[in-house]
Structure 1
Amino acid sequence: MKLYDYILSPSCYKVRLMAALAGATLDLRAVDFHPGGEHRGPELLSLNPGGSIPILVDGDLILTESAAILVYLAAKAAPEWLGRASAEDAAREQQWLSFSGRLTTSLGGARLHEMLLRPGDLAALQAAGIAALRELEAGLVEQRLRGRNFLVSDRPTVADIACFPYVALAPDGGVSLDPYPAIRLWSRALRALPGFIEMPGIHRLHELKPEPNLEQSEV
């Protein structure tokens, strides 16, 4: 399987992370996303006319959406990462996979504005990102009340991997994670998984702080 990859892309990172956790091997093909704009060159546009990365090629199969790639890797290499134990879990998985797109648009857009000077309304992107984080925090608190540490069940699924990178990198776009203890606990749980790999820019400073206390925090 070949992954057209940019090392600083959270969307590409979530694919590399899923592969590492699932024990799948990827042939990485580096893309000069910035400043070269190779993703909009003729070679990559022939694979993905949408002009985005990541792109996964496996034989005759070409996948261009990160959520679909995560599901494919899990189904192929580690089906236990699919939240399909019940109809409720399957629906929750799809809900959070769809939700991850909002994180990409809002928190990812703010990050691109701040780091790569991409045009956009930073205040609006940050406000949308904060709204998404509040929704994620509420969902994680609800799960904890049910005895679950992850978005779908008591074990991580592709939904957690889909949401994690843009949340972890929210400070790059000027959005703090300090008000969200459940998110920080969830992040620690994901980092502790066997096979977890880092991405440049996702630091561990929050892990030096005291353990978040949900009872003393407001959602």
Structure 2
Amino acid sequence: MFELVALHECDPKRVARFLTLNRERFRPYAPTRSEHYYTNSHWRAACKRSKIEWKEGRAYRFVVMHKNEEVIGKIDLDHIRRGPFSTGDFGYFLDRRHEGQSIMRRAMEEVLSMVFTDFKLNRVQAAIMPQNTRSSGLVKRLGFREIGLAERYLKLDGEWRDHLLFELVSRKPAAQAPADEKTAEKPAEKPVTPQADSEPVDAEIITDAPAGDEPEKETKETS
């Protein structure tokens, strides 16, 4: 059982504890962190900043709560560029103890349901290292499409890493036909018996792999 909560509405101590417990696990997917990053004081300031970013439409940050008690995941939609670009970047982390339960997939679905409506974006992007096939599979099942390879895209764990880029774009509703076309008479057609659509089966993600988050001014990988 999980709940999606805005970062600025969460107890900073719980966020600090989550990241401290998973420090070594997330290391390959994140920039080099200072010791201060894992402190309660850092996350008190980060939560305050998150509230301002949310209000100004510059970033939307969430935590995934387990039984309304423990933080087990984090999702960031940040680096938002408004105006004609109208896009943002996704990154996320999940506690290893809660992998294999499709928690991150369902949490991401909740956030994506807000992206093109509440947050009024046109496009979102995710960057994933090529070897992270589980995370690539996750974003593809969420509707993202691969758009190319970016060499030396992010410096993570002290090394410049190549990343595959994925995007999800808002789709405009189909244009309605003009009124005169709607009312125009059409020749009678022979009834056609409807047939069931052939739909692919959406396989479960076995493991929701981690991804980078963003502290003060950070880059991150979605993994």
TM-score for both structures, normalised by structure 1: 0.33
Select the structure with the greater relative contact order (CA < 8 A; seq sep ≥ 6). 2
Greater strand percent: which structure? Answer: 2
Greater helix percent: which structure? Answer: 1
